[in-house]
Amino acid sequence: MPHPPKPAALEPAALSAGFDKGAFAFDTTRDLPPLDGWLGQDRALDAIRMAAETRHSDFNLFVLGTPGSGRHDATREVLAPAAQKRAVPDDWVYVNNFDAPHKPRAMRLAPGMAQRLKHAMETLIDDLANDIPTLFESDDYQSRRHAIEQEFSEKHEAAMGALFERARGRDVAILRTPMGYAVAAMRDGAVISPDKFEKLPKARQQEIEKQVDQTRREMEEVMKELPRYQKASRARVEELNLALAEEGVDAAIAQAFHDLRGVEVIEKYIAGVRKDLIENPELFLIREDGPQAGAFPVATSRHFAKPQFRRYVVNPMVSHTADDPAGAPIVEESLPTLANLIGRVEHASQMGALFTDFTMIKPGALQRANGGYLILDARALLSEPFAWGALKRSLKTGKISIISAGEEMSLISTVSLEPDPIALDVRVILVGDRVLYYLLAAVDPDFATLFKLQADFNDAVPRTPEATDHYARLLGSIARKAGIRPLSAAGVARALLESTRIADDSERMTLNIDRISDILREADYWAGRTGQPAIRDVEIDQAVAAAEIRAGRVRELSHEAITRDILLIDTEDARVGQINALSVLELGGFRFGRPSRVTARVRVGTGKVVDIEREAELGGPLHSKGVMILSGFLATNFAPDIPMSLWASIVFEQSYGGVDGDSASAAELFALLSALSGVAIDQSFAVTGSVNQFGDIQAIGGVNEKIEGFFDICAARGLTGRQGVLIPHANIQHLALRQRVVDAVAEGAFRIIPIRTVAQGLTLLTDRPAGQRLPDGLYEGDSINRLAEDRLRAFAEARKGFIATPRQGNSDGGEA
């Protein structure tokens, strides 16, 4: 039976699908028009437009994709025209609740009215601070008050005069003393002394005492009337003050609010202000150094700086002016803490104690974005305590309630402000990674209800002629925006090649705008060093190489350990049960490939393949899955008619960290088959690829870095022409290798060979056929598969004989 031919090594042209600079009809990207829109992101942009234009409150948006894809910029760009088409949202202010000061009132006003109301209140208080003291110092007020006081004085004097007259008729004197009034008997116009009074007859003494007692009782009656007179006088003065204050307040309100009449909410507020002002005119009769009984004007402006006038402040939460841009707001909150999101109530220290009032309520992002759009970073939002819950609560209730973290945790028991909630109408756009989106969708039942739209940004765009032309315009737009030199046609071709490298696919170009922009800006630096007018392919090569050098310290140490034989890796000769596998390490965004030695050992056993990495708790679940698939391949392809009697161990030698992924499963299988068959594997090769239970070699990731990692080791030791890498055939389309590898292949010093099956890989690694199963049920003689199967059958016979042979000391002759 003829053996299938060995897979051929790839030609240099297949290793890096470059772009022909001659295909571009421009000298530099300065000749190209800017790119309109966002390349390859139509699906995501349509979702953003829908979120921007629909008015349903629960159609909030989650923008997901890879960082660097321009998600934030694209979101802002799509929202801007939609925001301009929407009406300017209403203003919101907090004002004092004169009935319950701890519950400030929220007022919704037409756009632009918040500042007008605030200015009107300032004008009102300024006017009253000057007008009311003037009114109370006026001659008219003084004369009217004097008349009231004079009337009281006359009534009191008249009552006292009548009392004095009656007392004189009884020969009784009413005397003023420092302690008040005193009553004494008189004789011949003079007060009788105690000695003379004692000499009077008893009858006369009793008569005098009776007259004195009568006078004293009448004086007490007169004195009892005094508080009533005083109260009546005060009531009359208060009526006068009230009428005067009412007159002044009404005149000031009419002047300050003449252009704000007719607005129901403002009229209601003005009524409350009017009532409080009329009831408290004394607030305007305070000297700088404290209260004063008389009327004194406050000779300063902007009286809200004074504590007694804070109750009349208008505290704008959302306000608009004529200078503000038209349309709805677009707000981005980079630090979405609970306070920054829903607002906060600040406190100030006064005489060692904290106090607050409605003027210290500060707006959050939801208030500022009300009526428009709020953009939040999902990871930052979820990292802040209580912020995610507060956002959901606000969206579900349609109201913004200001609650502190202490109240959320029920740690505050003292009376605090309870501001009215503000009605919420906002479109929230969360921007985050895909993993956050899917986690929220899986664990938070409210998420799907509140965020019904998703804008999933593509990571790459297919490589088509149209997309290539648009990508060139994109590169030109990036250069213009960054203020750097334009790209030449050769520079564009090289940048496009690097974009396929970043995308890990020669048939796609990356949409990671940030990474491409970084490369172009660094290339501009190198172009400036040599005075080039445009960025060429040479400068992009320099930028890429310099970036790898900066990040390559760990890679160099790893390769140095191999070239110094600290880590044992063979790149020539042949060994049984040993193979070079390839892995990729990523540190700080820099990826590099590193070869690892995989070894396998076999003996008679019970059909167990020991994954030493898993036993040592260093192997991840994907790696363990690959080893189990390998076991399934052995069990179904070799000696299926007898029990598996194999014990095998597989290990990554000199591996002291975690191992995961199944990209080494093909190499592990080759090592195991080599150990079973006893046929050595050519150490000039390294292998990458996963395997399924049917023996097909499957695609893996990081193929470029893996190839380059093994190539660099071989190059450091000296290329022999036999060295190479076996890769899955499906990974050919992902090749975008560095030029040093392509040149070595072109010179015949290195090989890259794609394989589809385990049989093809065995043939290449051992230089003998893997072997096909013949009609008699056996594999071809002297093939790898035949040798492996014969070994397994020998293990089974040995195990059978071992079980059937009685052990010493077993008296009944039964099985051991």
Give pLDDT tens digits for 639-680. 677 777 777 888 878 776 666 567 788 888 899 889 888 899
185 in Cβ contact with 171 (< 8 Å): yes
Which residues sit opposite 597 in a β-bridge? 580
Q: Could you tell me what percent of the chain has a pLDDT over 90?
A: 41
Residue tagged active-site, from 596, 684, 706, 783:
706
- Give the distance, in angstroms, between the CA of residue 18 and the centroid of all CA atoms in the same chain: 40
pLDDT band at residue 60, thresholds of 50, 70 and 90?
A: very high
pLDDT of residue 617: 54
722 in Cβ contact with 684 (< 8 Å): yes
Mean pLDDT on 116-126: 89
Report the Cα–Cα distance between both ends of the chain, in Å, rounded: 45
Question: pLDDT of 702-711, one tens digit each?
Answer: 999 999 999 9
Map out the domains of the chain with their CATH numbers.
1-38+459-551 (1.10.8.60), 141-234 (no CATH), 319-456 (3.40.50.300), 557-800 (3.30.230.10)
Mean pLDDT on 73-87: 92
96 in Cβ contact with 490 (< 8 Å): no
The C-alpha angle 604, 606, 607, rounded to 5 degrees, equals 95
Q: What is the pTM of this model?
A: 0.80
Phi, psi of 183 (to 5 degrees): -115, 135
| Longest Cα–Cα distance in the chain | 169
SS3 806: coil
Q: Can 663 be counted among the known catalytic residues?
A: yes
pLDDT greater at residue 385 or residue 627: 385
Sign of CA dihedral 647, 652, 657, 661: negative
Q: What letters, b where the CB count within 10 A reaches 16 and e where it falls short, cover 129-146?
A: bbbbbebbeeeebeebbe
What are the E-state strand segments in 285-440? 286-287, 290-291, 315-318, 330-333, 344-345, 348-350, 353-355, 361-362, 373-377, 399-400, 422-423, 427-432
191 in Cβ contact with 185 (< 8 Å): yes
Q: Can 706 be counted among the known catalytic residues?
A: yes
Out of 146-155, 318-327, 379-388, 402-411, which region has the weakest mean confidence (pLDDT)?
A: 146-155
Among 87, 84, 88, which residue's Cα sits nearest to residue 114? 88
| Helix 113-137 vs helix 264-279: crossing angle, to nearest 10 | 20
- Tracing tokens 């088409």 back to the chain, one arrives at 85
DSSP string, 631-649: HHHHHHHS-TTS---EEEE
Most confident of 67-71, 178-182, 391-395, 558-562: 391-395
pLDDT greater at residue 346 or residue 238: 346
Side-chain half-sphere CA neighbours of 669 within 13 A: 37
Mean pLDDT on 796-812: 66
Which CA distances in Å does 558 have to 252, 502, 562, 779? Answer: 83, 23, 7, 42
Lateral strand order in the sheet of 751-755: 608-611, 646-652, 590-604, 578-587, 685-687, 724-728, 751-755
Q: Could you tell me what percent of the chain has a pLDDT over 70?
A: 86
> Cα(385)–Cα(343) distance, rounded to whole angstroms?
15
pLDDT of residue 808: 56
Question: pLDDT of 206-237, one tens digit each?
Answer: 777 777 787 777 777 777 666 766 677 667 76
Question: Kind of pairing, strands 646-652 and 590-604?
Answer: antiparallel
pLDDT of residue 814: 36
Out of 96-100, 196-200, 318-322, 772-776, which region has the weakest mean confidence (pLDDT)?
A: 196-200
Out of 144-148, 508-512, 633-637, which region has the weakest mean confidence (pLDDT)?
A: 144-148
Question: pLDDT of 474-502, one tens digit each?
Answer: 999 999 999 999 999 999 999 999 999 99
Side-chain half-sphere CA neighbours of 645 within 13 A: 20
Mean pLDDT on 245-255: 82
* pLDDT exceeds cutoff 60 at 690: yes
pLDDT band at residue 450, thresholds of 50, 70 and 90?
A: very high
Mean pLDDT on 724-733: 94
Token pair listed for 452 = 């019904």
DSSP string, 677-718: HTPPEETTEEE--EE-TT-BEE--S-HHHHHHHHHHHHHHH-
pLDDT band at residue 295, thresholds of 50, 70 and 90?
A: very low
Sign of CA dihedral 61, 67, 71, 72: positive
Residue tagged active-site, from 596, 663, 677, 684:
663
Question: Kind of pairing, strands 422-423 and 361-362?
Answer: unpaired
SS3 764: helix
Phi, psi of 64 (to 5 degrees): -120, 150
Mean pLDDT on 675-694: 90
Which spans in 257-386 are helix H?
Answer: 264-279, 338-342, 365-369, 378-383
- Give the distance, in angstroms, between the CA of residue 103 and the centroid of all CA atoms in the same chain: 31
Question: Kind of pairing, strands 399-400 and 422-423?
Answer: antiparallel
Mean pLDDT score of the chain, rounded to an integer?
A: 84
Token pair listed for 46 = 């349509």
> Cα(391)–Cα(336) distance, rounded to whole angstroms?
10
